[in-house]
Each structure stands twice: as structure tokens, then as C-alpha cells.
Amino acid sequence: MTEHFKMDAPATDRRLDDMAQGLVGAPLDRPEGPLKVTGTATYANEWQVEGMVHGVMVRAPGNSGRVVLSNRNDVAKMPGVLSVIQDDRLLRNPAQGTANKAPIQGPQQAAYLGQLVAVVVAETFEQARHAAQSLMVRLEDGEVRPVDPATAAVEPQDDQTLDQGDLDAAMKDATHSVDEVYTTPSHSSSPMEPHASIASWEGDDLTLRGSYQMLKYNRNELADSLGIHPDRVRILSPYVGGGFGSKLGLAPEAVAAAIAAQELGRPVSVALQRPQVYEATMRRSETRQRIRLAADADGRLSGFGHDARVSNLPGEVFAEPVLQASHFLYAGKNRQMSLDLARLHRLCAGSVRAPGEAVGVTVVENAMDELAQKVGIDPVELRLRNIPETDPESGKEFSSRRFREALESGARAFGWADRPGLKERREGEWLVGYGMASAARINALMESQARVTLQPDGRARVETDMTDIGTGTYAILGQIAGEMLGLPRDRVDVVLGDTTLPPAAGSGGSWGASSSGTSVYVACQAIRRQLADRLDVDEKDLLLKDGRVTFDNQTKALGDVLQGDEIAKLGHVEPGDTSTAVRQATFGAYFAEVAVHAASGETRVRRMHGSFAAGRILNAKTARSQCLGGMTFGIGIALTEEIAFDPRDGHVANHNLAEYHIPVNADVPQLTVELLEERDDWASPLQAKGIGELGICGAAAAITNAIYNATGVRVRDYPATLDKVIAGL
């Protein structure tokens, strides 16, 4: 039986507050953790399927021309080679997140250097790799194509344009103003687990063991790519070794494995090699962002402008949404925003962790730091003075907002007021500086379903095709079910990552825990009502704890109430009027201390703190972990991360973990996280909001602002590598 819930009104009853098991919010370990750290969790490319053979994909050597496999027949005769496949159904690039249909297909024409245009299949991986490396790809009738965003044709994104009041007049009349351009490079998700798929057919039915984030969409994307009905496709993805947006949509290896398996009548494994992950999955677009701030003598904003240029392949509609938080973060009645999309023949741009805010909030926070310096007030105080009463564009109320508390509490926790004076900040050859920045991220509830079964033995089972990409889904859904049904966590089994299960929202957009968790909550509420009916009491009069039911001054074992029956309910949640009635967002603040070497310009982050408010925290340990990861991302954005494109042909010059510099242990100091108590009745019946991406949104700015504080060098071209710092010393 399906229990349907639409979020049309705020959930003011806060039922979780009435429960007694004490699971929700507790810092519980992830139940699958021991499997992962002992190597016994089976990831996509680790399944042992009888008769399996191996495929290796082949890349285009340029960004234009008809693809010709010059020595295809010779390669097909190499030892162990079973097939050399160039099929019109192969993907040009991955699908965007929630695309729900095939992306652009066809390997016959090269669109970017590194595009995967063929797959070679052999008995062993080594044979397939050797043959793929031996396959010569030639491009015929090519032309020079744009790879530089500065000179490429741009398409204004009219739906992103805002012109409210008169920003030009506000800038002219302002006592203090900032008008600066900031640039950020492309970033790679760089998940630890490369994209991999194992495809096998039984008649007309396809099973794909893959590494994906949003299975209900991925199934439809795969079916559409192959020209078959989605009912004939099953995707299994119980464990995902990181995604960060790069596994939201279907990627080329999945379709290649499915085509090859169908042709050969055998299971086929295709895993992207690390350079192919960098060259042919998703990048965050580079950005050029102009920020204009107009303020009075006290630093109160009268004008706010944010104009940006991002890029993508021809035919792709995704444009890095850098303006998202600018619409509501700060006041200013005169507002102007615009977004241009440059058309480039580089690899596809798409979602990388916190698309939009990761780089959009970052440059806004740099501009706010510059304004604070001009006004001559503390950067925290400047932000406090510019928190809008309501959404500054729509006039809508905020659903819940502990932005001020995050700024003030974070400053206390870091010791911001006690930071040393300028004369005390040199330690030998190291210049010490302090910086801060705000955090903000939009919040959303998405359609999601889950089945919860209360079994005769008093155990519960949660089933949904939701994924756990390292975020803690297994733990959180078990906690919600255990809390609602009064069961210890070890008496709740959670089954994820299988498209034969009820379709969930998927892991993306920071909506996974709240959306899938709400579907579990809805199913459990229905189970509680059925239990109450059996006992002839009101559901709110039930107390469920430790497998026992207390009602009307009686206590019974849950099994005695069930009397050998099981109760199964399907919870189905949909977003409703609350999505548009108010402004929903999460907020926070970062504080950082850095040391910059006076001779070399090398920057070391010495400590960093983040305070965050994201509604009810469902698991304090996994939430803290997400914030730590986001802040680590911020260190990378600030100091090291950058996809280096060759300006001649747009190929990725640093397509490996050795040269794409993500932060390592030595780069990351002891980070501290504070999670503020909050409930958001408008967000979901859980009163929870998304936290998976909040920790990255603006984090880099705290570090670059600290570099300025230490050295007087303002780096507006990310990342702040030592050559850019030393140039100003």
C-alpha cells in the first residue's frame, strides 16, 4: 500500500521530536564502514561474473573531423581480441544530472579531444588495453574549433538575467564600491573510484553493475541510449567510491559495455582509465565573474551586481549556475545579474560538487572582503549589516535562516576577535593572516519513494534505489526507520542501489538525505498508524522503543502486536507549495588562518573552522564528515586545483592525480566543524535540509582573504598558486 505525501504546508508537528529511540541526530557509525575499510564491499568493477570479458575505450586525438579507425582489421586480429566496436549509440559525452534521457550520441565525429569513440574488447584486460593502445584513430576533414572561452561565441542565458532598480546609479552614488573581475578555472570531481560498468544480458533484459548516483534517471538514460524500454534495464550500484557530481548522469563506459555485451553474448566490463576520467566525464566550467558592490559610509549595500561567463560544448544546455546564492545572500535594492554561455570544444561541463555556489559564493565573498577593507570595518560585521530581512528580489520570507548565528558563533569558536594585530603576525619567514567568508547553498526537496517492512520477528527492512556515495545514506535511513518504529539501529536492514526497488531522489544537489529520508518517514508513519489501529489507540499515543510498544499504561513486545504478520508500506513524497512559497537555503561561515612564505609565496592553511546551519541534523558524524570534505575541497579550489587545457586544441594537459593537485594530508590542517541547532518546517517533515555541499560554498574565499590579510596580495585569478602570490610580495 502506498502512502503519498505532498509538501504543501510546513510540517509544524515535528513528530521526530516525540520519538524515544534516540537515533536521529546521533553520531552513529556507517554500518557499511567495516566492509569498505576491509575491502569486502563490492564496487562496480569488482563483481566476478561468469564468462566476463574486458573492454577498453579509445579516445579521439582531436576536436574536429570524421573518426576513422585506420588499422581496425589488424587490431581485431590481435591475441585475445573479440571485437573492435564503433557504434552510433556510443555517447559523445555523459548525460547531465537528472537528464532522464540519452545525451548526444555518435562516435563518428569528434567534438573534443579525449572523446571516447570506440571500445576494444578482449578476453583479458591486458589484451584489451594493449589492443586499444594499438588502435590508430585518424580524423578527416576537420576544422579549427574554438577552445578559448575569451574568444568563443557566447549565448546570453536570458532566463538568468535580472535588472532591478538602477545599479549604475547606485555605483555612482556609493560612498564605497567594489567593481572587480574574478576568474576560476575548470575543476574535476576526481572520485577515487573511476567510472566503471559491467553489463550482462539475459535475453532482452540488461543488468548493469555500475557506479552511479541517481539510478532512476540513469536507467532511463541507458534505455534511451540503447533504444529499449526502461523495464528491460536493471542497474545495481550498492557501493559508490565517490562521485561529486561526475556520476549523476550516465557516462560513456556504461553504454559501451552494454553494446559490447549484447554483440558478444557475454558479460563485458569497461572501466575508464584515470586519464579518461579527466578527459571524458564532467568538468566544472571555468568562470569569469564581475562583482559590483555599492555601499554607504556604514557599509550597507545599496547595489549588488553579478555578471558571469561560463562555457560548455555545443548542444549542452547546462550552464554553471554561479548566480544562485547571489539572489538572496545579501541585501541591496538595486540589483543586476547576467549569465553568458560560451560554446567551446572542450570536454563537457556539468555538475561538480555544489555547482554554482562553490565558485559563485567564493568570488562574492572575496568582493565582500574588499568592501570591508574599503569601509574600514570588520568583515564579519559587514556581513551582519547586510543580511536581508526577506529575499531581496522576490520579497519572500526565508523558511529558516541561522546565518547571523553562524557568523557570530563561528567567530567565537575560532577566536576571531582575539586574532593578533598586524605587528605580531610574522613568524620568521612566514607571514600569518586571517580570513573569513560566508557559506550559502539553495535547498530542495525532490520526489522519492521507499518501502519499509516491519517483519514478524520485530526487525525492519528499508528498500529504495537510493545510493550511498560515501555520504552516509545506509546509516541515516536506518536511523530514521529505527527512530520511528522504536528499534535499535542493528535491527533495521537497509537495502540500496537497485532499480528493482522503489525509485528515490538519488544522491545529488544535497537533497538525498532529506528526500529519501522523508519517504522512509512517510512509510513508517503509515506503519505506526496501522499498529495503532490494531491496539485501538491514537497513533500519537504510541510509544515505540527497543522493540516494545507502550500504550494505555500497557507495554507489549512488538512481535506480540504483529502476531506473525508483517506490515509493509511504500512511502512516496513529492515537493509541493513549500518549494515556492518561501526562500529555502542553508547557511554558514568559515574562518581560516594561513601562513605565507615571504620568499617563495607558498601558502599553508594552519587552521580552519566552519559553522553551519542546515535544519535538523540527521547524523552528527556523517554531517560533520560532509563539512570536513567540503572545506577540504575549498582548500583545493583556493590553492591548487585547476584543469590545465592546452590553448591549441583544448586537451587536458594534467589528466591524472599526479598533476591535478587535490589536497593531500599535508595540505589539510586540523579542521573544526560546528553544527547549529535548527529546524526548518518548510523543508520537509524531518525539518532537515541538505548539508552535503554547503561546506564547500565559499570556503576557498576564507583562505584567499587570509592570504590578503597576511601579505596585502589580492589574488583574483584562482587558484592562488605561489607564482601569483609572490608576484605581489
Residue with cell 529519501: 516
Sheet holding 426-427, edge to edge: 426-427, 430-442, 585-597, 603-613, 671-675
Q: How far apart are CA 337 and CA 291, in angstroms?
A: 9
Give, in degrees to the nearest 5, the angle at Cα 496 between 493 and 501: 105
Q: How far apart are CA 692 and CA 698, in angstroms?
A: 14
Q: How far apart are CA 362 and CA 443, in angstroms?
A: 18
Residue of 440, 696, 693, 699 lying closest to 586 (CA atoms): 440
Exposed e or buried b per residue across 595-630, where buried means at least 16 C-beta atoms within 10 angstroms of its C-beta: bbbbeebebebbebbbbbbbbbbbbeebbbbbbbbb
Residue 3: beta bridge partners? 571
- Inter-axis angle of helices 252-264 and 215-226, to 10 degrees? 50
Q: Give the chain's radius of gyration (CA, Å).
A: 27
Q: How far apart are CA 317 and CA 307, in angstroms?
A: 19
Q: How far apart are CA 192 and CA 89, in angstroms?
A: 28
Q: How far apart are CA 399 and CA 452, in angstroms?
A: 30
3-state secondary structure 262-284: HHHCCCEEEECCHHHHHHHCCEE
DSSP 97: T
- Inter-axis angle of helices 357-375 and 699-711, to 10 degrees? 30
DSSP 397: P
Q: How far apart are CA 373 and CA 364, in angstroms?
A: 14
C-alpha cell at 668: 589539510
The CB-side HSE value for 400 (13 A sphere, CA atoms) comes to 26
- 3-class secondary structure, 709: helix
Enumerate residues 6+ apart whose C-beta is below 8 A from 15. Answer: 525, 685
Residue-by-residue DSSP string for 685-697: TT-B---TTGGGT
Positions marked active-site: 693
Note the helical H segments in 13-99: 33-37, 72-76
C-alpha cell at 411: 567567530
Indicate the residue type of 336.
Q
Residue 435: beta bridge partners? 592
Residue 323's region, left for phi above 0, alpha for psi from -120 to 50, else beta, is alpha
Q: How far apart are CA 84 and CA 135, in angstroms?
A: 9
Q: How far apart are CA 268 and CA 54, in angstroms?
A: 5
Phi, psi dihedrals of residue 723, rounded to the nearest 5°:
-65, -35
Q: How many residues are given for the chain?
A: 729
Residue-by-residue DSSP string for 366-389: HHHHHHHHHHTS-HHHHHHHT--S
